[in-house]
Amino acid sequence: MIGKPLNTQVLSVRIIPNADSMLLKHLGVQEGDRSLGVFTTDCDDVSYTALDEATKKANVSVVYAKSMYAGSANANTALAGEFIGIIAGPNPEEVRSGLEAAISLIENDAHFYTANEDETVVYYAHCISRTGSYLSEQAKVEEGTAMVYLIAPPLEATVGLDAALKAADVELKVYYGPPTETNFSGGLLVGSQAACKAACEAFGETVCQIAGNPMAY
């Protein structure tokens, strides 16, 4: 089925109310933040988006975010998945609010989609109306910037990014060249909300076209 949303699973979550000072130092946590929130999921790009959401809904910052090599299908344990994220805040209540915001976005708003009938090709095309501190820092833009987060397998992403850039007045701020840790590719594009929406649609349509007829060059 084309266009079927694929839900991301949150695999594990913990709050450390008063983290050890050595751990905080190695994570580069800013002064005054003592509490940490840690979670793992089976999808990295949705989770990076969720971390950004956490920074918009609570007084937290992202101190660690990494993708696991080869992707969730090759996770080394049941709870490791494809991604680990850590947020820091001044107290457990703020961290809890940040985690709840992240989990809500994962469960309700951000999804990968299937690009072909047998669901063997998937992609991520998600519009963010205004960025939080995390993705703003990644893209070197002001907080509150409209952004589109685009990810697909390497060839599909390369052609799809070209289509997205040509479809709307958007700028590629971050390029995830293939192969990433999970063997995908993509980028972060910014522009007006309308332009981001047009770029998002062009990317998705292009990925689906390639998935449906990969040898039509």
The DSSP output letter for 4 is -
Q: What is the rounded CA–CA span in Å between residue 175 and residue 191? A: 16
Here the tokens at position 4 are: 């079927």
- pTM of the full predicted structure? 0.97
The DSSP output letter for 191 is S
Interval 135-187: pLDDT, tens? 999 999 999 999 999 999 999 999 999 999 999 999 999 999 999 999 999 99
Q: State how far the alpha carbon of 210 is from the alpha carbons of 114, 117, 145, 184, 206, in Å.
A: 12, 12, 30, 15, 6
Interval 142-154: pLDDT, tens? 999 999 999 999 9
Here the tokens at position 143 are: 């907080």
